Structure 1
Amino acid sequence: MRPFLLASLLLVLAAPAAAQDVTISRADGTEVTLSAADLADLPRAQVSVTGAAGPKLYEGPPLAYVMRAAGLPVGMRAHGDPMRGYLVVRGADGYAAVISAFEADKDLHGDVAILADTVDGERLPEREGPRRVVIADDLKSWRSVRKVVAIDYRLAD
């Protein structure tokens, strides 16, 4: 009985790991997949959001670091054509939102945008996670894509 329980537990723990990967498409059509371990190694930031239930503190890597890890132009590399860049963040449920690459880059914009994996010190609840985009100072959370599975970087014409 114990080996069966252990095997079942290992399967349950292994399933969410794949769901935590985030695929990032570059403007040239190439893709990179960042694993949960890749994302865990990135620096972290916090964003406080006040909702109907009161304030919540989200934490995760800033989108600028996620972009850098995927080989996207950020900081000084974002000068010129990359100023036309934008991100289409997609959730597992098909919901998507657009964020300009400029406002996602903490080196170029005052607000912080993060790929949160915790809220108030706990893992995101299943209805939100394992990853959620949270943008500081958005008055509505409509761009706060839940269950993020992909980020597409594109250039406007």
Structure 2
Amino acid sequence: MRALILALALAVAPVAALAQSLTVVGLDGKTKLLTASDLADLPRAEVKVTLESGPKIYKGPILTYVLRAGGLPVGARLHGDPLRAYVVMTGKDGFQAVYALAELDKDFHNDVVILADRVDGKPLSEKEAPWRLASGGDKKGWRSVFGLARIEARLADAPVKPAEMDHAH
């Protein structure tokens, strides 16, 4: 009986670990799997999000550092073509929201966006866990993807511009 319980526990362990991981897909198409332990030591912040039920204080890793850990261009690397990048955030329930990559970078934007793992000093509810996007600058919490499972970076098409508009910044 013990052997059966141990075998079952070992079979379920990889599924549980996968549920606690975040898939990040870079602009080059490379995928990186970040675990809770990968995110544990990243700089953290808290943001106030106003919901229909009232204001809540979310706390978790600053998304800029999560994106960097996932291989996305942030900070000094966010220039040129990557400024046309956006990310599609997908929750475990399939809900998606889109953010411009620069809008998530603390070096470009005053508002902080975090990968929350706590709310009002407590762990997230099962509906929101393991992570929820929380933005201090959004007037509504509607882009706060629950159960964030995937961040996929994409590049908007480059505009076709007349030669007279071709100049460097």
Q: TM-score, normalised by structure 2?
A: 0.83
Does 2:43 match 1:28? Answer: no
**Could you say if the C-alpha distance between residues 5 and 57 of structure 1 is closer, same or farther in structure 2, counting changes exceeding 3 Å?**
farther
Q: Look up the match of 2:42.
A: 42
Q: Could you say what the CA RMSD is over the residues aligned between the two structures, in angstroms? A: 2.3
Q: Look up the match of 1:89.
A: 89
Q: Report matched runs for 1:1-157 at 5 Å.
A: 16-157=16-157
CA contact (8 A) 2:50 2:140 kept: no
Deviation at 1:5?
9.2
Deviation at 1:141?
1.3
SS at 1:37 equivalent: helix
Aligned residues: 157
For structure 1, the 5+ residue unaligned runs are none
**Could you say if the C-alpha distance between residues 6 and 42 of structure 1 is closer, same or farther in structure 2, counting changes exceeding 3 Å?**
same
Select the structure of larger CA radius of gyration. 2
SS at 2:76 equivalent: helix
Deviation at 1:51?
2.4
**Could you say if the C-alpha distance between residues 30 and 12 of structure 1 is closer, same or farther in structure 2, counting changes exceeding 3 Å?**
closer
**Could you say if the C-alpha distance between residues 14 and 48 of structure 1 is closer, same or farther in structure 2, counting changes exceeding 3 Å?**
farther
